[in-house]
Amino acid sequence: MLRVEGLSKSFGGIEAVKDVSFSVYRGEVLGLIGPNGSGKTTLVNLVTGLIKPDSGKVVYKGEDITGLKPHVIANKGIARTFQQTKHFPYLPTIANVLVPSMSPRGRRDGSPLEKALESLVFTGLLAEADVPAGRLTHYQLKLLELARVMALSPELVFLDEVFGGLSPSEIEKVMELLEYLNKGRGMTLVVIEHKLRYLMRMADRVVVLSYGRKIFEGKPEEAVKHKEVIEAYLGRGVFT
């Protein structure tokens, strides 16, 4: 579905991503993990068009999308969330969801308003539809990110630390929503996450980065035994 080939990016002489290649297969949940500063978010920014690579390419469903603008990539079916939630704080919650549902991609599968309402029902935010997004809790803002993703009707979603700042019970609820998006809606998910014990439960495969380069790609149960992965995380305890 998606193929990343030899992506590299430097900032001021510092190599943030070094010759990274990996594939994402339709219908899977792929975990993208690595210690802080390993290049995960930079890699996602390269794939989704926020920044352009110095070298390498990104191929989506057979088409080279390297360096295309983010809205063009989104309209091809690739969505993402951010570590810091992106929202319009003074607009009602439903208006925040209407924005992606009114895009060319979002309009494909029904009226924008119907899709926005469906997304709010899905995430449990319908009661907050008229509440300004700036008054939502951190957990509700994470749900709003998922509602906005759902309204776009993507095929591939990059989720950047979707569990960040959430309690264990909130994480479990978000995991249920992600499982529905994957199994019920057929969305392929790439999950970038530090809370590895949750990610390892849901990922079919993982890609591990360290200092900007890929050190592992394969099954989660193999990753936790891999020498370089263990060294990158300074011991096994991080996986429990």
Q: Give per-residue pLDDT as tens, 127-167.
A: 999 999 999 999 999 999 999 988 888 999 999 988 989 99
22-45: average pLDDT: 92
Return the pLDDT at 75. Answer: 87
Q: Assess whether pLDDT exceeds 90 at residue 53.
A: yes
Q: Is the Cβ–Cβ distance between 213 and 18 less than 8 Å?
A: yes
Q: How many CB atoms are closer than 10 A to CB 99?
A: 17
Greater confidence (16 vs 115) lies with 16
Owner of token pair 């700036």: 134
Return the pLDDT at 157. Answer: 96
68 within domain boundaries = yes
Q: How many CB atoms are closer than 10 A to CB 69?
A: 10
102-129: average pLDDT: 81
Token pair of 239, please? 């996986």
CATH of the domain at 161: 3.40.50.300
Q: Are strands 188-192 and 156-160 parallel, antiparallel or unpaired?
A: parallel
135 within domain boundaries = no
Q: What's the mean per-residue pLDDT of the chain?
A: 88
Q: Give per-residue pLDDT as tens, 160-212.
A: 988 989 999 999 999 999 999 999 989 999 999 878 888 889 999 999 999 99
109 within domain boundaries = no
61 within domain boundaries = yes
Confidence bin at 101 (pLDDT 50/70/90): low
Q: Which amino acid is at 224?
A: V
107 within domain boundaries = no
Return the pLDDT at 236. Answer: 46
Percent of the chain predicted with pLDDT > 90: 61
> Which residues are bridge partners to 29 per DSSP?
189
Return the pLDDT at 150. Answer: 87
Q: Are strands 29-33 and 188-192 parallel, antiparallel or unpaired?
A: parallel
From residue 186, alpha-carbon distances to 9, 138, 182 in Å are: 31, 27, 5
Distance CA 82, CA 60 (A): 21
25 within domain boundaries = yes
* Domains in the chain, number: 1
Which domain covers residue 59, as residue numbers? 1-77+156-165+189-239
> Using N-to-C axis directions, what is the helix angle for 138-152 and 112-123, rounded to 10°?
140
Distance CA 131, CA 91 (A): 8
Return the pLDDT at 240. Answer: 46
223 within domain boundaries = yes
Return the pLDDT at 196. Answer: 82
126 within domain boundaries = no
Token pair of 228, please? 């370089």
Cα dihedral sign, 198-200-205-207: positive
Return the pLDDT at 238. Answer: 53
101 alpha-carbon distance from chain centroid: 18
pTM assigned to the model: 0.88
Return the pLDDT at 109. Answer: 66
